[in-house]
Every structure is written in structure tokens, then in C-alpha cells.
Amino acid sequence: MGEIKSTWEIAQEKASKLGELSLEEQKKQREDRCRPIGKSLAEKYLSEHDTQHLEAELSKYNSEDKELISQTALHQLIEGIDLRRGSILDRMSQGILSLAKTETAAEIVGKIKELFQEYQEAEKGERQDIEKAGREILHQLRISGTAISQINIRAKGEWQEKLDKVVHPTKERLNRLKQELLK
């Protein structure tokens, strides 16, 4: 009569027949495990804005996992930089600097902030030009006073066209800076 084995013992025998994972397979498994953690960490940082929490969470992992998680979180923050989301640039910058910890990163983040400021000034100038033109048209139509206190320039197609002309070259420069940060 044969020996009765538990399911666990049978599974262990089959697993031992398969052999150990290669280094490449182990690395892929580690990456697959660490990527979602890094993405989650970046999202949590953006919602809570606490660099100490970011560093505390990273300290929970061994050095290899910590590096992968940190790189993924850094990548998420860098990819999240967008001209239309200037309000959270400072938060993202602090997170990037906290994770990157290099002078090069600090310089590039400084350039990105300058670029955002240039963009905001250009957008403000375009907005004022369009509002001024709109007011002139309304004045010619003899419409004035409180009836024109706020002109909705976003309703005009002209606004979007002019904004796109400002955004395109700025976005290209931003993408180059983001690529430098990812190196």
C-alpha cells in the first residue's frame, strides 16, 4: 500500500521538480511586485503631501525593493507633471527631490518651475489680449457696464487656438526636461 500524501506535500514535490527561478525571473517577479507599490506610494504622496511618510514607507522595504519602488514612484511623479496641473507642481517637485536626491534633479526641477512660470505669464498675456478684444467688440456694439463684468474667453475657439500655440513649444521643452529627470 502506498503512502497517502497531503495536497501540500504533492504541491511541494511538483514545485521542487520545477527547480529554482532564474535570476532574470526573480528580477521580473520583484519588478512586478514593486511597481504597483511605487505607483500607490506616488498617488498617496500626492493626496497627503507628506515627504516624511514617503520616506517612512520606503524604509519598510529591503534595499533592492526600495530602489525599484522609489524609481517607480519617481517615474509616476515625473510623468504626472503637466502644464494644465500647475497647482500641484510644488508638491510633485518636493516628492521628486525627496526621491531623486541629486543636484541634477534639483537643477532640472528648477528649470521646470521656470518653464511653468513662463507658460503662466504667456497664458495670462493671451487671456488679457482676448478679453481686451472682446471688450472692444462689446463696446462697439454699445454694450457696457455690469453686463460685461466677466467675459468667458474659454467659450471662444480663438482662445483655444492661441493657447495651443503657447502650449505646444512649452510642452516640448517640458517633455525634454522630464526625460532628463528620468535618466
Domain boundary among 50, 80, 101: 101
Domain that holds residue 86: 24-101
If residue 123 lies in a helix (H) or strand (E), which one and from where to where? helix 103-140
Lowest mean pLDDT among 2-6, 42-46, 152-156: 152-156
User: What's the pLDDT score for residue 155?
Assistant: 58
Dist CA 28 CA 79 (whole Å): 22
pLDDT over 70 for what percent of the chain? Answer: 87
Same domain, 108 and 181: yes
Domain boundary among 69, 101, 133: 101
Q: Radius of gyration of the chain from Cα atoms?
A: 27
Phi-psi region of 57 (alpha: psi -120 to 50; beta: other; left: phi over 0): alpha
CA 66 to chain centre: 19
Cα dihedral across residues 49, 51, 53, 58: positive or negative: positive
How many domains, in total, are found in the chain?
2
User: Which residue do the cell numbers 517637485 mark?
Assistant: 93
Domain boundary among 48, 74, 101: 101
Give tens-digit pLDDT for 104-150. Answer: 999 999 999 999 999 999 888 888 887 777 777 777 777 666 656 56
Contact 78, 176 (CB under 8 A): no
pTM higher than the cut 0.85: no
Give tens-digit pLDDT for 159-173. Answer: 678 777 878 888 999
CA angle, 100 then 106 then 107, to 5°: 135
Same domain, 89 and 135: no
Same domain, 31 and 71: yes
Same domain, 85 and 112: no
Same domain, 90 and 108: no
